Amino acid sequence: MGREQWKKIWVGSAGNMVEWFDWFVYATFAVYFADSFFPEGNETANLMNTMGIFAVGFFMRPVGGWLLGRIGDRKGRKAALTLTVTLMSASAILIAIAPTYDVAGYGGVAVLMLARLLQGLSVGGEYAASATYLTEASAPEKRGFASSFQYVSMTAGQLVGLGLQIVLQRNMSDAALHSWGWRIPFVVGALGAAIVFYLRRSMLETEVYAESGAAEQEGRGTLKVLWQHRREAFLVMALTMGGTVAYYTYTTYLTKFLSKSAGMDKSTASLVSFCALFVFMCVQPLAGMLSDRIGRRPLLITFAVGSTFLTVPIMTMLKHADTFWPALGLALLALVVVTGYTSINACVKAELFPTNIRALGVGLSYAVANALFGGTAEYVALWFKNAGAESGFYWYVAGCAAVSLIVYLSMRETRDIDLNRVAAAGQPRERSQQAGATTITPAS
């Protein structure tokens, strides 16, 4: 992989890290500011209301996937990536200055809601732009490895957020964190976004996009052209379903689950999440490299089988793991299984679409599935808990994985698809790798 390709991956990943830091610190610090925006009452109900607003942000992600995906296909990946980080910076500032219930009543909730809508718009476009950018910026035989850095940077954003939480927990009183300390990460996020905006202004466009002529093609980045690829769009939604539910269960929800259900103190729960996510981040490129050798489907199928059959026992044991090491071991097992999806999902989705519709196809399809399943995962979990049937959520996660397993078993392999070609009738074409051949053959 050449120096210019590494530069593209670095700039794309750095921006992605800040984007997801801002997105995830809301969930990470929700346990501290949930009571600030609602009247005193049931703590679980207030957390549910706060996470309900978190879920609202997911329902703006399809709008972001459409709007910024369209920009990415019409104006280039660079233009979309620059705009997403601008929106994220504005949303972080709004949360940092949002008034509490005691100061402005439900006015603070309105500010919080507006900020989450902007974050949803930004992240909806960020996923599409970064997945497309990282996939296109890499050599064909290393797309799995390169695109895995999307979840490396996403997880790094989470780790920075969790690390900041651990530092604040150890240096501030619990009362101070509930009072005003929770605002600190949003100030940090706004500053980080400003730095990334500067970096992205000088980033290079991908050669695949620049040389494809996609910017001159009629109908590029439109819903009309996307409809011609509706099979691929529905495939993206179906293959996302199980992965996004499992991912949010073992990342953003894990700290709350260990704290509220397993009875672990908040600082230990945060440390478990931090250590598990660090290992998870490190194995993403390894799994991406493996997919470049054996294909994408084996990893996706391994994830789905593991998640379908292991979720219930893992979550059941996690509920009784009230000390660090047992909880860490179980969390690592779960996240290693999820790696089969996270490490390659970006390139799999990008490989399904031609260049002139790739950003919109990936962004909108993924965002719809993420809004329906990923964004509601924590709310569904808390609903089951509030109803006194917490184990029902475990079966829900396993069921979503089972649906995706059916999709993985029936979909075609995407590793050898040539991103530089736009095949007739909307079908991507594959490069034959047998004996070093360069023959182009229709994808089956």
Please report which confidence band the pLDDT of residue 164 belongs to, taking 50, 70 and 90 as the band edges: very high
Distance CA 118, CA 28 (A): 18
| pLDDT band (50, 70, 90) for residue 411 | very high
Residue 179 host element (H or E): helix 174-179
Global confidence as pTM:
0.84
pLDDT score of 71: 93
- Give the mean pLDDT of 138-153: 92
Band of pLDDT at residue 350, cut at 50, 70 and 90: very high
**Mean pLDDT score of the chain, rounded to an integer?**
87
In the Cβ-directed half-sphere of 311, how many Cα atoms lie within 13 Å? 26
Q: How far is CA 106 from the centre of its chain?
A: 30
Most confident of 12-26, 211-225, 348-362: 348-362
For the chain, give the percent of residues with pLDDT over 90: 54
Whether the Cβ atoms of residue 317 and residue 433 lie closer than 8 Å to each other: no
Q: 299: which 2 tokens? A: 């990893």
Query: If DSSP codes are grouped into helix, strand and coil, which group holds residue 351?
Result: helix
Q: How confident is the model at residue 435, as a pLDDT?
A: 34
Of the listed ranges 40-49, 59-68, 142-151, the least confidently predicted one is 40-49
Which segment, 5-14, 206-215, 431-440, is predicted with the most confidence on average? 5-14
User: Considering only CA atoms, which of 274, 4, 290 is closest in space to residue 143?
Assistant: 290
More confident residue, 229 or 220: 229
Q: Residue 262 to residues 36, 125, 307, 382: CA-CA distances in angstroms?
A: 25, 36, 21, 14
User: What DSSP assignment string belongs to 189-234?
Assistant: HHHHHHHHHHHHHTPPPPHHHHHHTGGGSTTTT-HHHHHTTHHHHH
Least confident of 124-138, 226-240, 245-259, 415-429: 415-429
Task: Reply yes or no on whether the pLDDT at 265 is more than 50.
Answer: yes
What are the tokens at 242? 């199980």
- Residue 444 has a pLDDT of 30
Instruction: Report the run of H or E that residue 358 belongs to, with start and end.
Output: helix 358-369
CB 210 within 8 A of CB 335: no
Please report where in the chains the tokens 């064909």 appear, as a residue: 140
Pick the more confident residue, 101 or 389: 389
Residue 435, judged by CB atoms within 10 A of its CB (0-12, 13-18, 19+), counts as exposed
Say whether 263 sits in a helix, a strand or coil: coil
Residue 374 DSSP label: I
User: Tens of pLDDT along 45-57?
Assistant: 667 777 777 777 7
Rounded to whole angstroms, the Cα distance separating 17 from 375 reads 19
Least confident of 13-22, 46-55, 234-243, 407-416: 46-55
pLDDT in tens, 288-312: 999 999 999 999 999 999 999 999 9
388 secondary structure, DSSP code = T
Higher pLDDT, 406 or 161: 406
Query: How much is the average pLDDT of 73-88?
Result: 90
Map residue 441 onto helix, strand or coil.
strand
- Per the model's pLDDT, the better-predicted residue between 91 and 444 turns out to be 91
> Cβ distance 52 to 190 under 8 Å?
no
Better-scored residue on pLDDT, 43 or 309:
309
Sort strands 429-431 and 440-442 into parallel, antiparallel or unpaired.
Answer: antiparallel
Over residues 362-374, mean pLDDT: 91
Nearest residue to 112 (alpha-carbon basis) of 66, 57, 71: 57
Lowest mean pLDDT among 112-121, 223-232, 400-409: 112-121
Distance CA 440, CA 421 (A): 9
